[in-house]
Structure 1
Amino acid sequence: MLHKLSFVTLLFLVMVAAWSVGNVSVNSDEITFPELIKTSTQCYTTASENKNQLIVFTPSQSVAERLTESLCVDSVVTKQYGSVKGYWGDSTTESFDFVGKGIADLVLAKNNIMNAFNAELTYNYQAVVGFSDYTAYFISSKEKPRLTKQYFLDKRIGLLDYPTSRSGHILPKKVFKDLNINQGNLDITYASSHSELRDLLANGQVDIIASFWKESDAERFSKNYITPLSNKISGSRWYLKMQQNNTDLLCAVQRHILDMSKEQTLSYYKEAQSYWDCTSEHVTAKDESIKNG
């Protein structure tokens, strides 16, 4: 019995000694874990002692990073905020969180998401800059798609795995419903982005996709092989949370977004529309018919 007790005591002392040596040799302050998935960026204004933070959300990482850095050096932003933090993410859940909970001060979103949460009334989000309406299409690489039940039943179809996307998800599924097609009988492949949808079609992995048409698509596909799904769809818009009548910030944000849009390669994003007249002493909204499509 005494022998067993001594053995247990010795084993315990060895474990304590090993822990002590390890604790001394490793500085816990130096232990860092790499960030596996980066979803935000942050910068500080010259008024870094100011604890107020301007929060931006957009589906695009490049847009979030570009706009965050641009706003950080703006004189109006510096007077009101100590930092700017830009988030990005293309999932429905993320959009719902930032819009539905009013987390974002500035957000790029589609008006159907804003309407779903009544966000314009609840948080007084105001449309600042918007993009042109567009048309959704079924796009094929070898023939013009036909809107018939029989046509879709033997096709491999590419859709967007983003339930709030009208061109890549909502509208094609509405077509299937109107044609009385059981979606369980369709061969559907879901993609995470419109670019991935185009790659699937170009690589012959699907026969048809649902998306919008852009100028560069003519390099990979024939414009003769597209079929419209619906009338024009309202484009995305930048919304600013205006719980105060902060027109200085509104005009600064509008200016930066318009400047950033001019740098885009696609003409669609270059043709951004401003919704506010900031040229006079009193900032006023432009024609409401423009904002409401």
Structure 2
Amino acid sequence: MNKTSILNNKCTFFVVLLLLLLANWFVPYLLVNSELNKLSPVSSYSYTCKIASSSSLAVFRVHVPVQSLAEKVHHSLCQDSVLAKQYGSVETYWGGSLAEQIEFLAKGIADIILSKDNVMEAMMAESTQNYMPLIGYPSYTAFFISAREKPRLEKAYFLDKTIGLVDYPTSRSAHILPKQVFKQLDIDLSALNIVYAGSHSALRELLSKGEVDIIASYWQEQDQQKFSENYITPIADNVSGSKWYIKMADENTDLACALQSSISAVVNNVQSSYFDKLQHYWQCNIAPYGFVEGYDNEG
């Protein structure tokens, strides 16, 4: 066998090997992605209702981080007359893990979802899954809050304290930012006594009962009834608020405006000064209505 034949055989061998390697990677990729949107959402927690007045088989899916908010929103949407014209049932999921949010966004499972700008941008969910902002919460300052003294941003200060955080990792003020402070202070989390709660209101209950020494949260006007403004220490300023995003593959403005009204009513009933300046992204009180960048119905 001459050198040319040997060289050709070697080239053929490497080409075949390369094709096999590509097939081994690409075929499973295609199979997985072809089934991606057929999968049910991964969540252990959900509410479901059947809309009695509707004959539609379509399911409207909601995702929020907190159970208490999920329950209130679910109850409201199950009675929404506009939603009932287009959907036959509502499924509301709650869970604070980032992985769960990513799944709902990447697959476009959620018809409406409460999330952060940075998560939406990282997932490119607005361009790939047609998510658009519906309602925005105002920016705020995150604090460490104590009942008896002003918290100090010192390593030794935290080591003998019981600290209250929320148990959903997407919360910036009550999970991400305080843990960033601990890291900056060179504190190993395993050395801290951390108690996790299901919501910001649950954190305040723990603090008022003396079950924790410090909590991480935002400060609201009614907090002065139980705590002292002298005993708060800022963690970060101008923290961007969350937004409700609606999946708008069609120009379904009736639904967008109905949801904006319904969810705003639920949020306003929470009776927190934090929600006094909600940003509304749909101009629904003037026909023809639609999405308006930066529009604020609250004036």
Q: TM-score range by the shorter chain?
A: 0.7 to 0.9
Quote how far apart the aligned CAs of 1:78 are: 4.1
Kindly provide the amino acid, as one letter, of the partner of residue 86 in structure 2: Q
Quote how far apart the aligned CAs of 1:145 are: 0.8
Kindly provide the amino acid, as one letter, of the partner of residue 255 in structure 2: L
Question: Structure 1 46/158 Cα, relative in aligned 2: closer, same or farther at 3 Å?
Answer: closer
Does residue 1:197 correspond to 2:206, yes or no?
no
Q: In structure 2, what is the Cα distance between the partners aligned to 1:44 and 1:55?
A: 13
Q: Which residue of 2 aligns with 1:117?
A: 123
Does residue 1:266 correspond to 2:253, yes or no?
no
Describe the SS at the equivalent of 1:230. strand
TM-score, structure 2 length as denominator? 0.73
Q: Which residue of 2 aligns with 1:43?
A: 50
Q: In structure 2, what is the Cα distance between the partners aligned to 1:187 and 1:263?
A: 34
Q: In structure 1, what is the Cα distance between the partners aligned to 2:203 and 2:263?
A: 28
Describe the SS at the equivalent of 2:153. coil
Q: In structure 2, what is the Cα distance between the partners aligned to 1:138 and 1:224?
A: 11
5+ residue gaps in structure 1?
A: 1-36
Quote how far apart the aligned CAs of 1:79 are: 4.0
Question: Structure 1 131/84 Cα, relative in aligned 2: closer, same or farther at 3 Å?
Answer: farther
Quote how far apart the aligned CAs of 1:274 are: 0.7
Question: Structure 1 215/79 Cα, relative in aligned 2: closer, same or farther at 3 Å?
Answer: same
Q: In structure 2, what is the Cα distance between the partners aligned to 1:159 and 1:80?
A: 39
Does residue 1:87 correspond to 2:92, yes or no?
yes
Q: Which residue of 2 aligns with 1:184?
A: 190
Match for residue 220 of structure 1 among 226, 240, 252: 226
Segment of structure 1 superposing worse, 142-151 or 163-172:
142-151
Q: Which residue of 1 aligns with 2:290?
A: 283
Describe the SS at the equivalent of 2:211. coil
Kindly provide the amino acid, as one letter, of the partner of residue 178 in structure 1: Q
Contact 1:160 1:169 in 2 (8 A): yes
Query: Which structure has the bigger radius of gyration?
Result: 1
Q: In structure 2, what is the Cα distance between the partners aligned to 1:192 and 1:263?
A: 19
How many correspondences in the alignment? 248
TM-score, structure 1 length as denominator? 0.75
Q: Which residue of 2 aligns with 1:61?
A: 70
Describe the SS at the equivalent of 2:144. strand
Contact 1:109 1:238 in 2 (8 A): yes
Does residue 1:130 correspond to 2:139, yes or no?
no
Kindly provide the amino acid, as one letter, of the partner of residue 204 in structure 2: R
Describe the SS at the equivalent of 2:238. coil
Quote how far apart the aligned CAs of 1:226 are: 0.3
5+ residue gaps in structure 2?
A: 1-43
Match for residue 175 of structure 1 among 178, 181, 186: 181
